[in-house]
Amino acid sequence: MSRAASGSWQLVRDRDGFAQLEERWRLLETQWEGGTPFQSFAWCNQWLKYRGKGYTPFILVNIDRSVIAPFATTIVGRTRVLRLIGTGDSDYLGLVTSISPGEAWRAVIAELHERKDEWHVLHLHSIKQKDDILSALRPYQGISVIERDYEKCPRLPISGTWEAYLGRRKKVKYESRRWAKRVNESGAVTVDSVALPLSSELVREMIDVERESWKWELGTAVLKPGEQADFVCAVLQDPQMAARVWCLRTNAKLAAFAVVFEDKAGWYYYLPSFRNSCTNAGAHLLSCIVEEAFRHGCGFADLLQGDHGYKSLWTDQIIGVAEILASNSLWGRLLLLGYLARWKASQSGTIRRLRDTFGKVGDRRSVPTVENVLVISLLVGLVGFLR
């Protein structure tokens, strides 16, 4: 752990230093402002172990102001890119702090500016505090910034009773009854929840459910063998993660499941899946989860990223998350051009197909290389010319 040259900042650059932060980190989790389970020490610890290949911790710690900025660096071509730990797997990313997010981000951006020779690109993904971050970056000349609204997270505020909620959402009331009827036609139905850590047997059952789901067919199943599955399974078997796995069984066979992270503010609905042979099981399980959220009295049920149609049935409230990139170097600005081209490509089916064929840039975890920048930029220009 090395000390910063300014103020009371410390910089953690290795995994041992990260481990030494556990006590302070967990204390902030009990006091934090705007934090979620995706900033918890347990989540970040498992991410570094299973998803952090090619990343080096770059964690800024301010003791006086109770801020931990959990960054890590990676190299893209000749460019040092700074990201928050958990990028690509976390629906919300941010700081670990007990002060207001706006104040915390101003302090962190100021320290990063002092250390501008140690990074080329700051890449912030799935960020709720877009305005706070853009405001904190604005005073610093010489830093180029691009941003976009990335995703929507439907969130259901929990207030009053379940019965009163159904009275306000007539369609939910109707559909909930229909789902329950259809699922019960499949046999004896039971719904329960299991606290972490999960047994290996239940994890295997969950993998079996995903194997028979539409996600497996489309290639988006999280529990398919690989690095991502190793990470998720480690999270599910970590006793430090505050979560329960909700299980719906028909004739004692697991038909649907969903992970629900819990904190003092609310519940987070994560990683739902159901067998294709029991299509209403997932919807009925969500209904059971939301009903229990009302009975439990938590603050909200967050349905997380993905503005899917079924989520809009439950709530009209949306939490937006953004993607922000800032650069202070020539190579970094070139990478920003690649992201701008990539964002444009994501809005065009033609460019998206050409990009996938020639640029080899796929999901949100992949990062454009310098070669991708040139290919994608040429494709965008070509399609624009042809139109």
Compute φ and ψ for 268, nearest 5 degrees: -125, 115
User: Do 265 and 35 touch, CB atoms closer than 8 A?
Assistant: no
More confident residue, 106 or 370: 106
**pLDDT (0 to 100) of residue 65:** 78
Per-residue buried b or exposed e for 140-159, using 16+ beta carbons within 10 Å of the residue's own CB: eeebeeebeebbbbbbbebe
Alpha carbons 144 and 150: distance in angstroms, whole number: 19
Mean pLDDT for the chain overall: 90
Give backbone dihedrals phi and psi of 84, rounded to 5 degrees, phi first: -80, 140
Q: Inform me whether the pLDDT recorded for 360 exceeds 70.
A: no
Cα–Cα distance, 106 to 129 (Å, whole number): 12
Of 52-56, 247-251, 366-370, minimum mean pLDDT range: 366-370
Query: How does pLDDT run across 165-224, given as a tens digit for each residue?
Result: 999 999 999 999 999 999 999 999 999 999 999 999 999 999 999 999 999 988 899 999
* Angle subtended by helix axes 130-137 and 101-114, to nearest 10: 40
Q: Which domains does the chain have, with CATH numbers?
A: 2-152+320-328 (3.40.630), 159-298 (3.40.630.30), 329-387 (no CATH)
| Mean of pLDDT values over 127-140 | 97
Cis bond leading into 154, ω under 30°? no
For the whole model, what pTM was predicted? 0.88
The span from the CA of 81 to the CA of 44, in Å, is 18
Q: Please tell me the distance from the alpha carbon of residue 40 to that of residue 53, in angstroms, as a whole number.
A: 20
How far apart (Å, rounded) are the C-alpha atoms in residues 162 and 120?
Answer: 50
CA dihedral 82, 88, 91, 96 (to 10 degrees): -30
Q: Which residue has the higher pLDDT, 359 or 311?
A: 311
β-pairing, 243-250 vs 189-195, is antiparallel
